[in-house]
Amino acid sequence: MNSMEVSRQAFTTRLPLEGIRVVEVSHMVMGPACGMILGDLGAEVIKVEPLKGDNTRRLLGAGAGFFRAFNKNKKSIALDLDDEASREALLDLIETADVFVENFRPGRMSALGLDYKTLSKRNPRLIYVSHKGFLSGPYEKRLALDEVVQMMGGLAYMTGPVGRPLRAGSSVNDIMGGMFGAIGVLASLHERNTTGRGKEVQSALFENCVLLSAQHMQQFAVTGQAAAPMPGRINAWAVYDVFELADGHQMFIAATGDAQWRTLCNIVGRPDLLGDARLQSNNDRVRAREWMIPTLTETLAKHNPLDLASEFEKKSVPFANITRPEELFDDPHLKASGGLVKLGLEDGSETEIPLLPLSFDGARLQPRSPIAFVGEHNRDVFGSLGYTSQQIERLVGTGSIRTPNGAAEAN
């Protein structure tokens, strides 16, 4: 049995959050990321979708992968939350829950009678986690997007060239906001063991982004000098750059100390640089970057990337090939370590998906079921609460849910 097979079998007995029920009323990325983390850790996560399904199931372009990326290990029920009977059914479900997850605009949950104050009266043990744009303060009623807070929180300024703020290439605040929501849930579950009561947890995009910018804020506090955007910064390290190798291959290479500098020069056949009096310390080399980096660039352009990568790995020089997201499906480390696994989709097909970047005693947290189709678990969930088939039909309005192949099926 190889290490990947061991990893897949290690959690066949009990997962860390087994026995915890989560009701998730959320969409897009932030709330679903929180629910996915809790579900991967073993919680039963019941996702509440509109009758037509979460809008992210149908997004195109940059949003085309949202749903499958952040909704594994969840059940799906379909309800019209503007319908009073459906809201009452949801309240019955929430009374059985340990955690409630939401990420709708300010005021939406209160308008539906699903705010923390209301729900905690019915279920005092409930942990209620809201994912918002801003925590309490002057901005709290503003709507926010990842781009909005990246612009407000200093991240876009630091990412783009001078005068050209640029958002990061992933939904970093949405994903991290979901992570912080999950951390708040875990802390509250632990506290509930002592107090017997739940509490309200809030995670917010803006404050998340400010944390990402904290190092640059403190750089200013320490030095009195404003941090320059990353493309225009003065490097702390002499070699910390992307270089073009033979055949146009791009590679990031770093030499952050004297030992790495010596190793790099020897690997690329430039021992002459080691004897140059202008390059004896890292700070000397930083001051010499204007002529030193072009010299290294010219040398590196003649080197084969496979040969360099092999030498760098053997001799501990930091490096990275510039990889596109689609190339990660073939990443040898991810494939050999079990970090990519097959996930069944709602249409019956499969995709490979990365697991949470966690292991427990060497074991990774696996998908336990295919992505649910819309309303797949209406019968199971509401049936377990004592609802009859006729009552469940009335809840979904049309009396139908969507089957894996997209056809309608009576409840």
Q: Are 257 and 209 contained in the same domain?
A: no
Task: Determine the pLDDT at residue 410.
Answer: 39
Q: Are 13 and 101 contained in the same domain?
A: yes
Q: Are 197 and 55 in contact (CB under 8 A)?
A: no
Task: Determine the pLDDT at residue 13.
Answer: 72
Measured CA distances, 298 to 195, 268, 287, 293 (Å) = 66, 11, 19, 9
Task: Determine the pLDDT at residue 396.
Answer: 78
With b for 16 or more beta-carbon neighbours within 10 A and e for fewer, the 381-397 pattern comes to: bbeeeebeeeebbbbbe
C-alpha distance across the termini of the chain, in Å: 43
**For 392-398, which contacts have Cβ atoms below 8 Å and span 24 or more sequence positions?**
394/85, 395/79, 395/83, 395/85, 395/86, 395/89, 396/51, 396/78, 396/79, 396/80, 397/51, 397/80, 397/83, 398/51
From 78, 106, 2, 20, select the one nearest 372 (Cα to Cα).
Answer: 78
Q: Are 193 and 294 contained in the same domain?
A: no
Structurally, how many domains does the chain consist of? 2
Pairwise CA distance, residues 96 & 101, whole Å: 14
Q: Are 35 and 160 contained in the same domain?
A: yes
From 108, 45, 48, select the one nearest 395 (Cα to Cα).
Answer: 48
Query: Over the stretch 155-174, which tens digit does the pLDDT of each residue have?
Result: 999 999 999 999 999 999 99
Q: How many CB atoms lie within 10 A of CB 234?
A: 9
Q: Are 168 and 315 contained in the same domain?
A: no
Give, in degrees to the nearest 5, the angle at Cα 410 between 405 and 411: 110
Q: What is the CATH number of the domain that holds 318?
A: 3.30.1540.10
pTM: 0.91
Task: Determine the pLDDT at residue 310.
Answer: 97
- Model confidence at 11, pLDDT cuts 50, 70, 90, reads low
Using the 3D structure, point to which of 301, 326, 351 is the last residue of a domain.
326
The pLDDT mean for the chain works out to: 92
| 172 within some domain | yes
| 265 within some domain | yes
Q: Are 45 and 24 in contact (CB under 8 A)?
A: yes
| 171 within some domain | yes
Q: Are 241 and 94 contained in the same domain?
A: no
Measured CA distances, 37 to 10, 15, 135, 299 (Å) = 18, 12, 22, 46
Map residue 110 onto helix, strand or coil. helix
Q: Are 137 and 28 contained in the same domain?
A: yes
Q: Are 315 and 353 contained in the same domain?
A: no
What is the CB-side half-sphere exposure of residue 83 using CA atoms within 13 A?
14
Query: What single-letter amino acid sits at 314?
Result: K
> Residue 176 sits in which domain range?
3-213+336-410
Q: How many CB atoms lie within 10 A of CB 350?
A: 12
| 165 within some domain | yes
Using the 3D structure, point to which of 302, 326, 350 is the last residue of a domain.
326
- Model confidence at 230, pLDDT cuts 50, 70, 90, reads confident
Q: Are 321 and 245 in contact (CB under 8 A)?
A: no
Using the 3D structure, point to which of 326, 353, 385 is the last residue of a domain.
326
| Sign of CA pseudo-dihedral 8, 12, 13, 15 | positive
Q: Are 94 and 172 contained in the same domain?
A: yes
- Model confidence at 235, pLDDT cuts 50, 70, 90, reads confident
Q: Are 205 and 91 contained in the same domain?
A: yes
- Token duo for residue 101: 């997850």
Query: Over the stretch 332-377, which tens digit does the pLDDT of each residue have?
Result: 999 999 999 999 999 999 999 999 999 999 999 999 999 999 999 9
Q: Are 127 and 51 contained in the same domain?
A: yes
Residue 234 has pLDDT above 80, yes or no: no
Pairwise CA distance, residues 237 & 255, whole Å: 7
242 phi/psi in degrees, rounded to 5 = -95, 125
| 102 within some domain | yes
| 129 within some domain | yes
Q: What is the CATH number of the domain that holds 159?
A: 3.40.50.10540
| 224 within some domain | no
Task: Determine the pLDDT at residue 12.
Answer: 59
| 223 within some domain | no
Task: Determine the pLDDT at residue 411.
Answer: 38
Q: Are 129 and 192 contained in the same domain?
A: yes
